[in-house]
Amino acid sequence: MQKRRLWIWNLLLGFTITVCVLAFVSHSKNWIKLKDGHMRILSGFYIKTLDFTELDSVEMIDKLPPMIRLNGFSAFDKGKGIYREFKDSLTEKKVYVFIDNFANPKIRLVKKDADQLFLNLKDSLETAQLFEFFKAKASADER
């Protein structure tokens, strides 16, 4: 006698595979949405909104400073999550990291309240264009 699978198990399996594929796609790159006065960056479970009037400094760096990972992940050339710098271990200042390629230069954004955000994209030319955009926004807000 042949057993029939219950349809609920097939539905549950299909739902699980769909959720896993969606999670992989959402973590596969940084999804950036630029609006008039702010930027929203989404990468998987991590969402950060940055108001351009809060920018204190923008710079391009080659290497990330030493940090402690509070939550997040690093896999292959990607690193995403919330970190804390070693030198600032007494306070709870969070550092947001959205790195798509560790080998390429990274944009370091510092807000006026000293929160930091490190960001880069897979393509170094797109990262350079984004850096110029942030630099223009930061200098426009200083005026």
Instruction: Return mean pLDDT, the chain.
Output: 85
How far apart (Å, rounded) are the C-alpha atoms in residues 104 and 74?
Answer: 15
User: Which residue type occupies 95?
Assistant: V
Q: Residues 63, 68, 74, CA angle at the centre, nearest 5°?
A: 65
Residue 141, classed as helix, strand or coil, is: helix
The pLDDT-based confidence of 138 (bands split at 50, 70, 90) is: confident
- Residues 3-31: tens digit of each pLDDT: 666 888 889 999 999 998 888 887 778 88
pLDDT greater than 60 at residue 1: no
pLDDT greater than 60 at residue 143: no
| Beta-carbon contacts of residue 38 (< 8 Å; ≥ 6 apart) | 49, 50, 51, 52
User: Which residue type occupies 29?
Assistant: K
How many residues are present in the chain?
143
- Residues 47-58: tens digit of each pLDDT: 889 888 888 889
> Would you kindly state where each structural domain of the chain is located, as residue ranges?
7-142
Which architecture, in CATH terms, is 7-142? Roll (2.30)
Render the burial of 23-32: b for 16+ CB within 10 Å, e for the rest. Answer: eeeebeebee
Encoded tokens for 119: 């960001």
> Per the confidence metrics, is the pTM higher than 0.75?
yes
Does residue 132 or residue 36 have the better pLDDT? Answer: 132
* 13 burial level (CB within 10 Å; 0-12, 13-18, 19+): exposed
